[in-house]
Amino acid sequence: AVRLVVLVSGTGSNLRALLDAHDDPAYGARVVGVVADRPGIGGLDHARAAGVPTAVVQVADFGSREEWDAALAKAVGVFTPDWVVSAGFMKILGAAFLARFGGRTLNTHPALLPSYPGAHGVRDALAGGARVTGATMHLVDAGVDTGPIIAQVAVDVTDDDTEETLHERIKVVERAMLVEKVGRIAREGLVVDGRRTRIGAVA
Ligand code: GAR
């Protein structure tokens, strides 16, 4: 199966959904490592419960953002991933990381990009008065949520939505999209700008 490393910073419900999917050999992808930017988070608990090895690479342990980014790339590289999935990872991936894993790192974002990029996609959509928002999967490039879009799913905003209620509704469809698309990419490769990238072993 295609080897996945998942990057997490929080609850890890998207990771949990991938871990639920990967036991089926027909899925075509397996989470072989989980890397976090902080200890003590739900995502690491999900990994441990599934018997998947973890690593924590904290910015505070390094003298600069560049050194942290290089250490993150090294920690991910230990697991020899075919694809990297950023699932609720709340840091920008830098030059060293992208030199190694660019073109094979996927991110999921809780808004319909190119609208509402950044760390507060749900809050910003509400503040902007959006009536429809959703989730986007895209390839990571050097910008903030600017890489080629792979899939999107829409969610209606209701009048009484708070950031929390809206984000929970987004996350339900986001998880389903992530699991479906990652599996498809593992099995069939990914076409971006008319070119098919097929990385890793096929189940
Ligand atoms: C997800 O909604 C993801 O799109 C978002 O964080 C949530 C993580 O949930 N990511 C970002 O906002 C990145 N800018 P999870 O930890 O339960 O998977």
Q: Which ligand 1 atom is the nearest neighbour of the CA of 121?
A: 12
Helix intervals (H) in 10-162 = 13-22, 42-49, 65-77, 95-101, 121-127
Q: Residue 94: its pLDDT value, please?
A: 98
The continuous run of DSSP H or E covering 171 comes out as helix 163-188
Q: What is the mean pLDDT of each run of 10 residues along the chain (203 residues)?
A: 97 98 96 98 98 98 98 98 98 97 97 98 98 98 95 98 98 98 94 72 44
Amino acid at 203: A
pLDDT at 195: 73
| Tokens encoding 176 | 């389903």
In 149-172, which positions are buried (b, 16+ CB within 10 angstroms) versus exposed (e)? bbbebebebeeebebeebbebbbe
**What ipTM was reported for this prediction?**
0.99
Q: How far is the CA of 163 from the centre of ligand 1 (A)?
A: 13
d(CA 68, CA 106): 20
Q: Which residues line ligand 1 (CB under 6 A)?
A: 10-14, 43, 87-88, 90, 108-110, 119, 121, 171, 174
